[in-house]
């Protein structure tokens, strides 16, 4: 991991020792003619083999070492604007580039960004185009090695960016740094082993993380949870010696804010599932890969990262973050299949499966959030394997009856590549979660439409007058092979999505 210094390079380029220049070249009809010009600029000579390989349909890279330095090495990377090119191209490429660069002794990296006009149709704005480059560098630099006994001294890397519009580039660097450091807080929470992140520890750590940014944190302990009759949270957490906590975060903008129809500051409630470890309870999960369930609190982590990103960037939206946190463990006190619990809104739930626990704790949280009377509510949860079966590992399921929210979140997903896909919320699905002994069952009566029936369950605890969207992030929250920056660690999926949505589409 580097200690990065991100610099807007300006017009004057000064190469220090141990420097690499990375220049992206758009594959167009002028590519062959540009090579002699680059030879003059960098005072180098390409061999015929390098030239032919680079220009071939399969080629894409030249690396030239300069014994005289300035820079010590030049890397040309050919960019094909074909059907495989997308808005994540440079973020994804640079994340892998930086990760591989860590084995070298480079101290300065100079990145030359192609003209925006060549790729304009793929990006929302020129500034966001530049931001993807910076995000790629920051993503590639992430690691979670706090438990390694051998500590590696972090090397310093100065990264210089060059672009047509220096003002927009500087703004992009500032925004990206604030945003990705917030994403990294989310990732650190996700990757933390469960023995060091019980509900109580999570509550204390979240309070400490948000305090420097003026975000208010309120924690409900056992007594207050009991007083508020949060039966779902109590039931799921009762099998563990580490008792539940209920976390409320609040961010208020200090600048001119966005207004709702009543002329008041727009208020959004974000709700995140905070199961710090999920054994499945008595409906025990298979042992293989159960360790990944340390990240079953990813929804909570995304809420924390999003509020911090909002505060760092002074977003003009009033935000609440609601986190119900528990451990779903096996003991003589664990909740049983067939039990009936009462949620804080008075509705009763028949527990068909103790491994469908996330929706039960979210029920109390959604009811609490509804009482705040926000303009919109969004919940995030690693809720169902069924959603991963339906959409794969790299897409979140989106469930809402509100077309405006669906459209805005979809657009933000395409922009940021934290992508979401809408699934139906028709009332026909309610038939699958009916119960003979309670108001609703916590699991569908068949294996079909599991992600949808989970969303329909949650709907029972949301004020019908509040626009609401449920995001099932069970796939993309976990490390997966879809992008270079999602392969190794839990991903922080959702923070960039919500930040873009709150910035531009609320």
Q: What is the pLDDT of residues 302-342, one digit of tens each?
A: 999 999 999 999 999 999 999 999 999 999 999 999 999 99
What is residue 264's predicted lDDT score, i.e. its pLDDT?
Answer: 87
Q: Give me the mean pLDDT over the 495-501 stretch.
A: 98
Which region among 63-67, 118-122, 281-285, 294-298 has the lowest average model confidence (pLDDT)? 63-67
Q: Give me the mean pLDDT over the 370-396 stretch.
A: 98
For the segment 345-380, what is each residue's pLDDT rounded down to a tens digit?
A: 999 999 999 999 999 999 999 999 999 999 999 999
For the segment 40-87, what is each residue's pLDDT rounded down to a tens digit?
A: 989 899 999 999 999 998 888 999 998 888 999 999 999 999 999 999
For the segment 237-257, what is each residue's pLDDT rounded down to a tens digit?
A: 999 999 999 999 999 998 888
What is residue 154's predicted lDDT score, i.e. its pLDDT?
Answer: 87
Closest CA to 494 of 397, 418, 435, 422: 418
What is residue 59's predicted lDDT score, i.e. its pLDDT?
Answer: 82
For 280, list phi and psi in degrees, rounded to 5: 95, -10
* Residue 133 reports pLDDT greater than 90: yes
DSSP conformation letters of 324-361: EEEEE--STTS--TT-EEE-TTS-EEE-S-TT--HHHH
Cα 67 to Cα 180: distance, rounded to the nearest angstrom: 36
**Active site positions, annotated:** 285, 359
pLDDT band at 260 (very low <50, low <70, confident <90, very high): confident
Cα 265 to Cα 245: distance, rounded to the nearest angstrom: 29
What is residue 28's predicted lDDT score, i.e. its pLDDT?
Answer: 87
The segment(s) of the chain belonging to CATH 3.40.220.10 are 2-181
Q: Please tell me the class of the 2-181 domain.
A: alpha beta
Q: Give me the mean pLDDT over the 416-442 stretch.
A: 98
The segment(s) of the chain belonging to CATH 3.40.630.10 are 213-504
Cβ atoms within 10 Å of 478's Cβ, excluding its own: 21
213-504: CATH, from 3.40.50.1820, 3.40.630.10, 3.40.720.10, 3.40.50.80 = 3.40.630.10
| SS3 state of residue 321 | strand
For the segment 190-229, what is each residue's pLDDT rounded down to a tens digit?
A: 999 999 999 999 999 999 999 999 999 999 999 999 999 9
Which region among 135-149, 259-273, 393-407 has the lowest average model confidence (pLDDT)? 259-273
pLDDT band at 430 (very low <50, low <70, confident <90, very high): very high
Sort 335 into a burial class: Cβ within 10 Å, 0-12 / 13-18 / 19+: buried
For the segment 67-80, what is each residue's pLDDT rounded down to a tens digit?
A: 888 999 999 999 99
DSSP-H helix ranges across 243-326: 298-312
């Amino acid at each position: 991991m580097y200690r990065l210094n991100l610099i807007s390079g300006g017009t004057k380029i000064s190469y220090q020792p141990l420097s690499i220049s990375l220049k992206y070249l758009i594959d167009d009809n002028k590519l062959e003619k540009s090579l002699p010009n680059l030879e003059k600029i960098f005072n180098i000579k390409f061999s015929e083999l390098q030239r032919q390989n680079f220009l071939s349909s399969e080629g894409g890279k030249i690396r030239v070492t300069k014994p005289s330095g300035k820079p010590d090495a030049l890397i040309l990377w050919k960019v094909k604007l074909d059907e495989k090119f997308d808005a994540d191209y440079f973020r994804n490429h640079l994340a892998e580039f930086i990760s591989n660069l860590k084995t070298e002794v480079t101290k300065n990296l100079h990145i030359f960004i192609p003209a925006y006009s060549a790729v304009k149709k793929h990006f929302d704005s020129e500034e966001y185009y530049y931001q993807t480059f910076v995000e790629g560098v920051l993503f590639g630099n992430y690691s979670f090695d706090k438990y390694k006994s051998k500590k590696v001294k972090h090397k310093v890397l100065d990264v210089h960016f060059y672009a047509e519009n220096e003002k927009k580039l500087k703004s992009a660097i500032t925004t990206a740094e604030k945003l990705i450091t917030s994403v990294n807080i989310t990732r650190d929470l996700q990757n933390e082993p469960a023995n060091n992140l019980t509900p109580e520890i999570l509550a204390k750590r979240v309070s400490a993380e948000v305090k420097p940014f003026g975000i208010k944190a309120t924690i409900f302990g056992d007594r207050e949870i009991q007083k508020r009759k949060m039966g779902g949270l109590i039931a799921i957490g009762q099998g563990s010696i580490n008792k539940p906590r209920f976390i409320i975060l609040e961010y208020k903008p200090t600048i001119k804010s966005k207004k709702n129809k009543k002329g008041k500051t727009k208020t959004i409630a974000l709700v995140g599932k905070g199961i710090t470890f999920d054994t499945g309870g008595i409906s025990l999960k298979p042992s293989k890969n159960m360790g990944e369930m340390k990240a079953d609190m990813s929804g909570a982590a995304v809420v924390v990262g999003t509020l911090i990103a909002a505060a760092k960037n002074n977003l003009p939206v009033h935000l609440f973050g609601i986190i119900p946190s528990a451990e779903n463990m096996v003991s003589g006190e664990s909740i049983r299949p067939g039990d009936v619990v009462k949620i804080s809104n008075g509705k009763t739930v028949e527990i068909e499966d103790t491994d469908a626990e996330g929706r039960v704790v979210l029920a109390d949280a959604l009811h609490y959030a509804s009482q705040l009377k926000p303009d919109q509510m969004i919940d995030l949860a690693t809720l169902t394997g069924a959603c991963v079966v339906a959409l794969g590992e790299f897409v979140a399921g989106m469930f809402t009856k509100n077309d405006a929210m669906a459209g805005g979140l979809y657009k933000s997903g395409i922009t940021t590549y934290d992508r979401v896909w809408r699934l139906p919320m028709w009332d026909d699905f309610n038939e699958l979660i009916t119960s003979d002994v309670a108001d609703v069952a916590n699991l569908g009566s068949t294996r079909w439409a599991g992600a949808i029936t989970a969303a329909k369950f949650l709907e029972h605890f949301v004020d019908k007058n509040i626009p609401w969207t449920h995001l099932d992030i069970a796939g993309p929250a976990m490390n997966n092979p879809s992008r270079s920056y999602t392969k190794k660690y839990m991903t922080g999926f959702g923070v960039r999505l919500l930040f873009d949505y709150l910035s531009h589409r609320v």
